[in-house]
A and B are shown apart, each in its own frame.
Chain A
Amino acid sequence: MTRHPPTIDDESLIAALRLAAGHDPVPAHVSDAARAVFGLRLPGAATARPVATPAPSGVRSSEETRLLRFAAAELTVELEVTSLDGLVDLAGQVSPCPEAGTLVEIRTLHLTQSRELSPTGQFAVTGLPPGWFSVVCHRPEHAPVATSWTRIRP
């Protein structure tokens, strides 16, 4: 690290050198995906942001489970994420339990699945591809609440 302000970090310098050299063009699929992302916007939705959860402990195995928690002003979404054989299972709990008729959408960049919440506020979806996902809670008479986009690794 240099002592001279302003400091430009190593990664930014490397990026600047490479950008100017022009040997690492953006793959077409990256630009295509960036344009397609616009179709996933939810005007008026509230974003539930991640809140810290206790780190998982215990022996790591081929099957891993992780707890994620997202909070918006009036709603908390907890997700148990299990990765198995390259696919992802989600088990979720919305609290406080919303009224009947609440729909949950599990959105990925390629597909969206809908689930009706159980009377106890739970839902599950299995066999999702790894990658970015967001869970949207559609309650009658309320603006939707969407969990901040989160990446699940393969």
Chain B
Amino acid sequence: MSDQHTVDAALTGDQAAWDVLVARFTGLLWSAVRAYGLSPADSADAVQGTWLRLVESLHTIRDPDRIGPWLFTTAKREALLLSRRNRGERLIADPGDAEHARFDPADAGHVHSDPALTVLTADEGRRLWQAVEEMHEPCRSLFRLMATAPDAGVHQLAGRLDMPSGSYGPTRGRCLNRLRTMLTAREATP
């Protein structure tokens, strides 16, 4: 069933069609929000909020093929808002801020073909790990650990990698930059 048919059916109130969308995208959305370092409970809230946004905006989706990017962008935004709330001042309601007020999720203009979405496929995932296997330490171990222990805290991860806690974030940033550079180099190789 194409996204067009699925969305059309969902618009007529077809729960089974909605369930198809949930089955297709929930794994992607879960990974997308977990990457912001949110707890399982906050991650569940962010994914929940993403589907609620779709429920309230479903009738405004003009291009059903864009539903994947739309959900992805929305989930990242919800996760970012949540992680900011967690880091900053404790506010009791989201989203009451101007940033969110300016974001009209129904506006497909906000959703470009996100290059990030292209790496979130099974094929690209395999290529990504092939690249990781070619990396030097500490990057290779850091990524393996990051992927196998999604709920480990910075302190624990740093300990396993035998580095000070304060080094974990910057090291991870450098390793991600290195990985990005490798991907870009591969893109450029015919």
Contacts and interface: CB of A to CB of B under 8 A. Distances in A.
Interface in B7-29: 10, 13, 15, 18-19, 22-23, 26-28
Given A23-B148, A24-B31, A30-B44, A153 B94 contact: yes
A112 to B, nearest CB: 14
Interface of B, helix, strand, loop or mixed by DSSP: helix
A17 B59 contact: no
Given A30-B47, A132-B52, A8 B115 contact: yes
Interface size class of B (residues with CB under 8 A): 35 or more
B19 A35 contact: yes
Interface of A, helix, strand, loop or mixed by DSSP: mixed
B100 A38 contact: no
A49 B28 CA distance: 27
B125 A26 contact: no
Most chain A beta carbons < 10 A, residue from B31, B79, B104: B31
Interface of A: 1-2, 4, 6-21, 23-27, 29-31, 33-35, 37-43, 45, 47, 49-53, 60, 64, 66-69, 81, 83, 88, 109, 131-132, 134, 146, 148-153
23 contacts: A1-B177, A10-B173, A12-B35, A12-B76, A12-B116, A13-B116, A13-B128, A13-B180, A15-B32, A17-B129, A24-B30, A42-B56, A43-B13, A43-B59, A49-B101, A50-B101, A51-B101, A52-B101, A66-B92, A66-B93, A146-B56, A150-B94, A151-B49
